[in-house]
Each structure stands twice: as structure tokens, then as C-alpha cells.
Amino acid sequence: MEVSGRVEERWSADPSALSAIQRFLSWEAAGGLTLVAAAAAAIVWANSPLADLYEAVLTTPAAVQLGGFQIAKPLLLWINDGLMAIFFLLVGLEIKRELLEGELARPGAIALPGIAAGFAMALPAAIYLAFNRTGPDAMGWAIPTATDIAFALGVLALLGTRAPNSLKVFLLALAIIDDLGAIVVIALFYTTDLSTESLVLSGAAIVLLIVLNLAGCARVAAYILVGVFLWICVLKSGVHATLAGVALGFAVPLRGVDKGQEAPLHRLEHGLHPWVAFGILPVFALANSGISLTGMSPTSLLLPLPLGIALGLFAGKQLGAVAATWLSVRLGFSALPEGASWLQMYGVCVLTGVGFTMSLFIGTLAFADEGQVSAVRLGVLTGSLASAVLGYVVLYVADARGPKTSQAT
């Protein structure tokens, strides 16, 4: 991690050099590029002479056992249920920080990205259901509703100063609200048969986390220990295990015991960022993006499942976000981000269609059939790539056009 080490040294030497939001954007942008590389590597691997090895690695059984208690899963599910719980822990930390002291804590700051996120989740779901309203494929309605923070910000980072920082903050806020919506969707719609005993134990663990917070406990290790127990209980309960990470993130204190002491949330968030951005998410992308192109043709994308996902991401996300933004500004609920033109705003709204990580993850919850999973990957990769390319082009052209008309209506 030489690169991240240099960045961290820069921060330590001059803490004022980058604000919290800039540090966050730096991690997410660089991580987004790593994510793209991992996805490309997965596709190449899955279509190479070593394709059988790709499948063999992902289906390798792994188990943890203590007496009669055992957790046994193939490697793919350890990644999706275990490593992704750490990703969702970071999501929980980020949401809490943004709501209490970040960009979303400012009065009125949540209005524009919040409304845009709502429209940008509803319209893609409607488009998907227009193609898959009945049958088993209908369960995938939430797949195109997601926005990938790292991937989208990675594309935005390629533009450098061509995109005003206010647009980056808007995209970040929208994606975080989007993630919160995805968490609610997963909790409500993607659960299996519930175990009452495990749910009771999960509730007890959450109560213990709350007690630790209210008691002023600042030891991150104590929260992690309870969090591991919570993850095991949630895993066995039928609710998706990654939600344990969110609950843990919300419980970690945003204050230190002594004045001037770094808050446990800040410490944990700062420590997790490089591991998630450059480790966990690329591993997830490598494990879930390997779509075999054998037997596929351009017409494969016209099947209802991949077409609904691709159009939901590419058309639904941008149209929903743009419509919500236009209405909010037109009706006086909010203003465009400072220094941004309408064309630049449209470009950022297009980038919300980069679903990738979250879309692939929801796809793993919605479907188990290999044919459906392959169709999900095809739709997600197509819609996300098209959104990334068009968003970049629009923003590049918008900057080249010169003077901004940020408050035009």
C-alpha cells in the first residue's frame, strides 16, 4: 500500500491540507479505478483458458467450527456475506458522520440530493418491472436502483478540476442516501426464513452496542467484539448478514472521551477506508464480475432481465435524478450546486447510473440460478459502463463550453 502510505503521510504532516470531505473523495476516487481494474480482470479470467480455475476458486468450501457450532460456506459467500459486512460497516459509519457533522448535517443540504435519490431509485425500479413484472425475475426490481460511490467518483476524478467540487459533494450525498435506501430495501425484501432465536440474540447484541455508546465507551475493540457476535447471529437469523455491519457502524461513537481526542468513528472510518477501497471492493468485483461470454451475442442484452437492469441504470437513474433536480430548482426547494451549469448537472446525474458494486450485490441476494446471475452481471456491467462513459463525455464537453450558467432555469 505504498500509494496510500504516501497519502496518509501527507495528511499527518499537514492535517489542514485536505478536509474530511476531500480525504473521503480521494479514497473513493482511487478505489473506483481499482474497482474497474478488478472487474476487467474478472471478465478476462472468466473467458480465458483458466475459466475453470475461476469457478473452482469461488466454489472452494471453507468452514469455521467451534464444537458443534459451524459456519460453512463456499468462498464466494464468505466474500459476499463476510467481507461485504465490513464494507457495510464503513457505509454505516459514513452515513452517521455525514448526517451528524458532514455535508448532510447542514440545514437544507439534504434536500436536493435526497429528492434526486428518491426519484433515481423509483424510476429504475419501474423500468425494470416494465420488462419483468411477473415470474421469478420480478425479484430483481431493486438491482438497478443503486449507485456505486467508488466507481462513480472514480469517473468524476478523471476530470480533475473540470468538475466543480460542489458536484462531487452532490454526487457523494446522493450516493450515500442511495446506499441508505438500499439498506432498507435489503432488510425488507431480501430476507429468508427467519430464526426467532437468532433474531433475539441479534437484538440483545444491538442493545449491548447501544449501552456501550451511552456509557461513553471509546474502545473500538469492544464494539468490534460485539459486532462479530452480532454478525454471526444475523447470519443465522435469515436477515442478510451485511446489515450487522450497518448496525455496528451506527453504534460507534462520534465523540471522544476526552476533549481533543479523536472520535472512535473517525478512527475506525479512517482505518477501514484503504482496506475497503483497495482490498474488499476489488475482491468483491473480482468474484462477482466474471461473466462468461460463451454463447452470448448482442441479442443476449435484449432479454428482459439484462435489458431491464441496463435500461434501469442507464436511462432510469439519470432521468429520475434530472427530473427531480429540475423540479426542485424550478419550484424553489433548492438551488443548483455552486458553480455548476445545467449541462454539468446532467452529466453527474448520468453518473448515478453507475450501479456496479451495490447492483451486483443486490443481484446475488435476488437470484441463485446461474443463468439469472449471468444475466444480472451482463445488465449491470452494460448499464454501468454506458453511464460512466456518457457521464464523463457530458462533463468534459460541459467544461469545454466555457462560462457557466449555474442558476439558469
For residue 70, tell me if it sits in a domain.
Answer: yes
Over the stretch 238-272, which tens digit does the pLDDT of each residue have? 887 888 998 999 999 988 767 767 889 999 998 99
Judge whether residue 7 has pLDDT over 70.
Answer: no
Residue in 184, 150, 130 with CA at minimum distance from that of residue 279: 150
pLDDT of residue 107: 66
What CATH number has the domain bearing residue 387? 1.20.1530.10
Cell of 373: 446471475
* Any domain includes 163: yes
15 lies in some domain: no
Each residue of 37-71: pLDDT tens digit? 898 999 999 999 999 999 999 999 999 888 778 88
pLDDT of residue 316: 96
Q: 232 in a domain, yes or no?
A: yes
Expressed as residue numbers, the domain containing 135 is 23-292+302-400
**What pLDDT is recorded for position 202?**
93
pTM above 0.85, yes or no: no
Give the integer Cα–Cα distance in Å for 255 and 216.
9
Query: Is residue 12 included in any domain, yes or no?
Result: no
* Neighbouring C-beta atoms of residue 296, cutoff 10 Å: 13
Report the pLDDT value the prediction gives residue 20, as an integer from 0 to 100: 55
Domain membership of residue 30 (yes or no) is yes
Question: What mean pLDDT, rounded, does the chain reach?
Answer: 84
**Which pLDDT score is estimated for 34?**
82
Write down the pLDDT at residue 70: 84
Cα–Cα dist 298/52, whole Å: 24
- The number of domains in the chain is 1
Asked if residues 89 and 312 have their Cβ atoms less than 8 Å apart, the reply is no
Q: What pLDDT shows up at residue 21?
A: 52
In this prediction, residue 166 carries a pLDDT of 79
- Classify residue 409: in a domain, yes or no: no
Residue 188 falls inside a structural domain: yes
Q: What mean pLDDT comes out for the span 6-13?
A: 39
pLDDT score at 169: 79
* Residue 126: pLDDT over 90: yes
pLDDT tens-digit map of 353-364: 999 888 998 998
